[in-house]
Chain A
């Protein structure tokens, strides 16, 4: 069975656990613990290891959805899972103190995954708080990736349709880039 690993990353409170729940066919596996970092995120619990969900497609394919803990002290796990991943759903909370800075940081951290796979950016809580516009996020992405076109959407992590749009856009973009690389190889 072919496995396709999709990561969900982003700062605390961005909605990674919820997004995986919206997409997964199975009961998601979460490793949450009491949140001791109330200054960064005012919520009771936070992911400390990872969240896991999956989508099975017939007997041939399984899409594994891994949610990474948002705190930097867990970044060793980011690197372990990044090696197996084909794509990343990067969620950023629009009412965070510096969402553009956080986006740039995560893009830098996952640059290698962007180069060999793909990234889609979901902006959560855009309907709740005034924050940067989608154009601002797109500009930050362009600066961080030397002009690459990465899909960026406003999303509600609780909305299955929104998260499907994110996932499908990610896969469509990855396959389109792969086709381009294939053609260039053939032409060379």
Chain B
């Protein structure tokens, strides 16, 4: 029988090479299954504990702990240092040290009423993935910046460079095998969309080939084919309650030939959850201080969007903004700005900066220069009035 286990803290694996990440994943999984540590592994830098590699610069908030993986002969020492070769004991010890520090410094973060149950054990074949990972190709060199953008100042250059940075998880077969253990075969039970969205976000971040079913009381089930980026749900979106009293997500590793033969684009579901179902605030993995920038426009021709969404998207494509800045700049309520950030982050369309905030490079709402509102004299404003939108 599966016991309900509550993940108290989150650990983010950032900038690790493929072998280290695979090993840490396997050990975390086993520690979770054995009840030695109850940590939710994510792949972003907003976690309570960040495990990173060597001297890789990581900007962390005061309340975050940064642990580093170093070679065996590294002269440094400390409670948050992991030496290669990585061992189960060392990682469990690290997690306990981190728990002790987090317990003493601040109340445990709340992730709604999320419960993670029935996480699968590491399968025999998954250790093999570590060996396969060692043969992974090196990252390609970064592309050169166009002189036009180089002239726009350091903050803008930083934004462009961040977009050109390689994705943290190239979907090699080896990684998929290892990462699958973090999500597939698990069942997440929540009492709101915010609860379940964490599991969805985790699956999307790891890019594990996963099939999922979301069950809602008195509503149609939602079948999701993550590799095929599509979903099925009769009567969507009208059949989906915005405030369900229970949401159950069951995820399994996708088998060959198991994908949905047809369905709607997954972006539609993620857009719906982000903009309408997550409530009034930011998603649990986003912070009010996070500055966000779009890395790709959403496919608006398949999304149920408004003119405000389009204006906010244009602003997000040209500036690095917090939710509040986006709200002020676009003249929309905070709830709507938070909603579009939630949706974009679920859809994987955001670059997020959590470093000490650079001076915001945002278009000032100067008369005659901003993106038009209905009452403005801009061409955009005139066109939407003309088109009756």
Binding site for B on A (CB under 8 A): 4, 55, 57-58, 60-61, 63, 115, 134-135, 138, 142-143, 145-156, 159, 161-162, 164-165, 167-169, 171-173, 175-180, 182-184, 186
Contact = CB atoms under 8 A, between A and B. Distances in A.
B383 A153 contact: no
Interface string B365-389: 1100111100000111011111101
Interface string B339-374: 000000000000000000000011111100111100
Nearest to B145: A146
A173 B302 CA distance: 19
B299 A146 contact: no
5 closest cross-chain pairs (CB), A and B: A146-B146, A179-B363, A172-B314, A149-B317, A176-B314
B379 A149 contact: no
B301 interface: yes
Contact of B301 (A60, A155, A172, A183): A155
Contact of B297 (A151, A175, A178): A151
A143 B143 CA distance: 8
Given A172-B311, A176-B315, A184-B152, A146 B364 contact: no
B148 interface: yes
A118 B160 CA distance: 17
A183 B296 contact: no
A172 B310 contact: yes
B164 interface: yes
Contacts, number: 143
Contacts of B370: 175-176, 179
Contacts of B366: 179, 182-183, 186
A63 B148 CA distance: 28
A150 B317 CA distance: 8
B81 interface: no
A159 B296 CA distance: 23
A97 B144 CA distance: 29
Interface of B: 143-146, 148-149, 152-153, 160, 163-164, 294-297, 299-302, 307, 310-311, 313-315, 317-319, 361-366, 369-372, 378-380, 382-387, 389
A175 B314 contact: yes
B379 A179 contact: no
Given A4-B379, A146-B143, A180-B362, 14 more contacts: A57-B383, A115-B148, A146-B144, A146-B149, A165-B310, A168-B380, A171-B379, A173-B318, A176-B317, A176-B319, A179-B366, A182-B363, A184-B153, A186-B364
B387 A165 contact: no
B385 to A, nearest CB: 8
Contact of B362 (A58, A153, A173, A183): A183
A146 B160 contact: yes
Given A153-B300, A183-B363, A175 B378 contact: yes
A165 B318 contact: no
Nearest to A161: B301
A177 B148 CA distance: 13
Nearest to B319: A180
A147 B163 contact: yes
A61 B149 contact: no
Contacts of B365: 179
Given A4-B379, A176-B371, A142 B163 contact: yes
Contact of B296 (A61, A63, A146, A152): A152
B205 to A, nearest CB: 16
Contact of B299 (A154, A168, A173, A180): A154
A57 B297 contact: no
B307 A168 contact: yes
A154 B314 contact: no
Given A146-B145, A173-B314, A61 B364 contact: no
A141 B386 CA distance: 31
User: Which of B152, B310, B363 is packed against the most chain A CB atoms within 10 Å?
Assistant: B363
A162 B385 CA distance: 17
Contacts of A164: 387, 389
Nearest to B330: A176
Contacts of A148: 149
Contacts of A165: 300-301, 310
B265 to A, nearest CB: 9
Nearest to A122: B301
Contacts of B296: 134-135, 138, 149, 152
Nearest to B348: A135
A138 B22 CA distance: 29
Contacts of A180: 318-319, 361-363
B291 to A, nearest CB: 15
A152 B379 CA distance: 21
A17 to B, nearest CB: 19
B299 A61 contact: no
Contacts of B297: 138, 149-153, 169
A55 B386 contact: yes
A169 B314 contact: yes
